[in-house]
A and B are shown apart, each in its own frame.
Chain A
Amino acid sequence: MPTTVPAFGNEAADRLASMADVTASDAALRRFLHGLPGVDAVGLQARAATLGTRSIKTTAKANAIDLAISMIDLTTLEGADTPGKVRALCAKGVNPDPTDRSVPKVAAICVYPDMVATAKEALGDSGVNVASVATAFPAGRAALPVKLADTRDAVEAGADEIDMVIDRGAFLCGRYLEVFEEIKAVKEACRRADGTAAHLKVIFETGELQTYDNVRRASWLAMLAGGDFIKTSTGKVAVNATPPVTLLMLEAVRDFRDAVGVQVGVKPAGGIRTTKDAIKYLVMVNETLGDEWLTADWFRFGASSLLNDLLMQRHKLSTGRYSGPDYVTVD
């Protein structure tokens, strides 16, 4: 039996079952989550800042840029989204630079549930996934049956991945078991008729959870409930992904794998716009988790404008000059 199994595999359920005692009741779950080691905010921020000073140049930079492109969930989540806009984004995701076929494709296109079918059709067998936000994204303020219907709708339309939001209200009230059960229910709703399932990303909206201790608790809560990925933010509030929050979540998935033997992915989202920022995140993954997480299966960037900056930097590295925003496509 392997020491580590992926969260999205069938064996993960057995591993999670071994933790059933901590999720048996609200009280047990609270005791467990509050028994996790605390987070010293100053120390966490200092570590993230130090990792941010790594100097990534030449070949390492070229390598990092391609890696980052391949990890992007290229996102459009606007009320004004149209099938035309989604199709344009899909074309871009499959072939980010029309003048350079060596650019890798992105990991997924991330849309609202009603655009899933359009995206699925546009992407075809390109290998780029369709990710859909669901569960009354971004606020999550809807009844559970509505959230589950939202999820099933997206899965039926062909979504490969579901990005759900947790009920921050319940979490901040301390109703951890309620949040846990809801994630489990959404995970169940991700199942398809053929027995496969869409991968589930659990969004915490860390800008609303506020404290680092809350982020660590939410991470363990989501992983215990079967989340395949843990994700920082919706991109819809004032504070989205930050390096310290992401570092903390990387530490949480590391600790979870050590303790439970299940590997979970991490997705920072919102506010990551530049190549420089993206490389800082990759450095954090590299020095906290190493090779095993440095693929699109285990690390994603939720971003929209990041891709163009990566393309411009890629262009600059290969040609020695900066091409400017008119040389990448605006979608």
Chain B
Amino acid sequence: MKNTVFEYAPAPESRAIVDIAPSYGLFIDGEFADASDGKVFKTVSPSSEEVLSEVAQASTEDVDRAVRAARRAFEAWSALPGSERAKYLFRIARIIQERSRELAVLESLDNGKPIRESRDADLPLVAAHFFYYAGWADKLPYAGFGSNPRPLGVAGQVIPWNFPLLMLAWKIAPALAAGNTVVLKPAETTPLSALFFADICRQAGLPKGVVNIITGDGSTGAALVGHEGIDKVAFTGSTEVGKAIARTVAGTDKKVTLELGGKAANIVFDDAPIDQAVEGIVNGIFFNQGHVCCAGSRLLVQESVADEVLESLKRRMSTLRVGDPLDKNTDIGAINSAEQLARIRELADAGEAEGAERWAPSCELPDSGFWFRPTVFTGVTQAHRIAREEVFGPVLSVLTFRTPAEAVEKANNTPYGLSAGIWTEKGSRILWMADQLRAGIVWANTFNKFDPASPFGGYKESGYGREGGRHGLEAYLASNPKASEK
């Protein structure tokens, strides 16, 4: 398919709407302050490698200060009537909506994701999460966790770089609604939107110490998770770090939820709505450059339609527009970091070396920044590394199956179990499959659909606990009041 008659002119979203300061401190007890030892690190725009700002690297001492601030704030915050806490959350949600263009541009700059996604997916979901949990704040006795559920105390939260502000919302909104206070550490490569959120907390008049944002690398996260003063650990990120966290908190009374990696199967039957299935495959693996824990990174397609589906998929992939994240017509932005790019390259090369056939559409990539073409591997078997390990990038592995039972067997044959997709026009098969698949989220004839009312979480090495929905409150509530009386 040629596209020379109607070429799209550049349509860049203006950067002028966001004002990034040259440096940011830690947000502790309602104030921004430098790190105790004065250490800083730089955050860059992955699409240009331009330094966006310098951010404080929190030391153990800073972590301690943040946890103490959260502890001090806990008493008053948890004593507030739920309806009062709800007011703050509603206010935050509204401010996020009002500032959504600014935050979307910021997120695209710091993360590298296309503005179309930060504008149409991330930001609306962020606001929706705060609205949703604001609604729960005064209804906790009816959430199904006893007649007088109590908050846990101080939550230490560590979030990843793939959806910086959205993961913050998933963590902070239910925690505050339930009456907890939080210390949150954003990812090292994407600290800015969390720091802007700190400003939103101030704008909303949130009592100081209720939300504390500390920036830093893995050592900061480890210090937070290991701190004695926290009652709850919530982590989203890699399985490797998740396991380390589980070891750290073992033997303590800290409550833990882990949302880790995935290697989801997107299963296409021969009676699927093919055009929409192809859209779902593209959305499943190329949304957010494939930096999605629930990405549909394994396509399981029934052999009888495999050729047809692959041909359509390749045709569709060649229309994907890769480039400047701030261009409103960009479909695929930059890989978040040089480190992640190296990881994706290593696994893709391994795929080729192990005998899978690699295909990517020809598209020009920018000269600076971190980029990887949307790529599909065919002839992949269960034994290949690209079929087993999480790539966390725009790389799809295609496997085939013959019968529904084989599809289930292959889909479940992974240490992960976060999500899965089923494409078929047959309703009874959807129900049967959903019953068989060991995955926390099963999408039918769609993929990567998120809603704050819907619980999200994994089986096996994909973690435990649920975020979102009524279930998401459980992670921040104790039905036994004693747990909060320490």
Residues of A whose CB lies within 8 Å of any CB of B are 37-40, 42-44, 46-47, 53-61, 63-64, 67, 251, 282-283, 285-287, 289-292, 294-295
Contact = CB atoms under 8 A, between A and B. Distances in A.
A38 B6 contact: no
A168 B243 CA distance: 62
Nearest to A35: B271
B4 interface: yes
A67 B5 contact: yes
A58 to B, nearest CB: 5
Contact of B273 (A40, A282, A290): A40
A286 B3 contact: yes
Nearest to B3: A290
B353 interface: no
Given A53-B116, A67-B5, A291-B3, A44 B11 contact: no
A291 B8 contact: no
B383 interface: no
B309 to A, nearest CB: 10
Nearest to B120: A53
19 contacts: A37-B274, A38-B272, A40-B273, A40-B277, A40-B446, A43-B279, A44-B276, A59-B9, A60-B8, A64-B6, A282-B6, A285-B6, A286-B6, A289-B1, A291-B1, A291-B4, A291-B5, A291-B6, A292-B2
Sorted nearest first, the 10 A-B pairs with minimum C-beta distance are: A43-B276, A55-B11, A290-B1, A55-B328, A40-B276, A60-B9, A40-B273, A294-B5, A37-B274, A38-B425
B446 to A, nearest CB: 7
Contacts of B8: 54-56, 60
Interface of B: 1-9, 11, 116, 120, 271-277, 279-280, 319, 328-329, 425, 445-446
Contacts of B1: 289-292
A59 B11 CA distance: 11
A103 B7 CA distance: 20
A63 B6 contact: yes
Contacts of B276: 39-40, 43-44, 47
Given A55-B11, A59-B9, A37 B116 contact: no
A47 to B, nearest CB: 5
A251 B9 contact: no
Contacts of A295: 5
Nearest to B426: A38
A290 B279 contact: no
A53 B331 CA distance: 11
B333 to A, nearest CB: 15
A60 B120 CA distance: 23
Contacts of A286: 3, 5-6
B305 to A, nearest CB: 9
B31 to A, nearest CB: 40
A251 to B, nearest CB: 5
B322 to A, nearest CB: 15
Given A39-B275, A46-B279, A294 B120 contact: no
A225 B346 CA distance: 53
A130 B271 CA distance: 43
A251 B275 contact: yes
A60 B8 CA distance: 5
Contacts of A282: 6
Most buried by A among B1, B3, B272: B1
Contacts of A55: 8, 11, 328-329
Contacts of B328: 53-55
B6 to A, nearest CB: 5
A147 to B, nearest CB: 33
Nearest to B115: A55
B374 to A, nearest CB: 15
B2 A290 contact: yes
Contacts of B6: 60, 63-64, 67, 282-283, 285-286, 291, 294
A47 B5 contact: no
A254 B273 CA distance: 16
A298 B354 CA distance: 45
A37 B275 contact: yes
Nearest to A248: B275
A285 B319 CA distance: 12
A291 B445 CA distance: 30
B3 A43 contact: no
A53 B276 CA distance: 18
A61 B280 CA distance: 29
A251 B274 CA distance: 11
Contacts of A46: 279
Contacts of B3: 286-287, 290-291
B275 A42 contact: no
A38 B7 contact: no
Nearest to A67: B6
B9 A57 contact: yes
A286 B273 CA distance: 22
B122 to A, nearest CB: 15
Given A55-B11, A56-B9, 19 more contacts: A37-B275, A42-B445, A43-B273, A44-B275, A53-B116, A54-B8, A54-B328, A54-B329, A56-B11, A57-B9, A58-B9, A61-B9, A67-B5, A283-B6, A286-B3, A286-B6, A290-B2, A291-B2, A294-B5
Contacts of B279: 43, 46-47
Nearest to A63: B6
A61 B8 CA distance: 8
Listed residue (A47, A64, A283) with the most chain B CB atoms within 10 angstroms of its CB? A47
Given A38-B425, A290-B2, A43 B445 contact: yes
Given A60-B9, A292-B2, A38 B273 contact: yes
A37 B4 contact: no
A55 B5 CA distance: 16
B280 A43 contact: yes
A292 B276 CA distance: 23
Contacts of A43: 273, 275-276, 279-280, 445-446
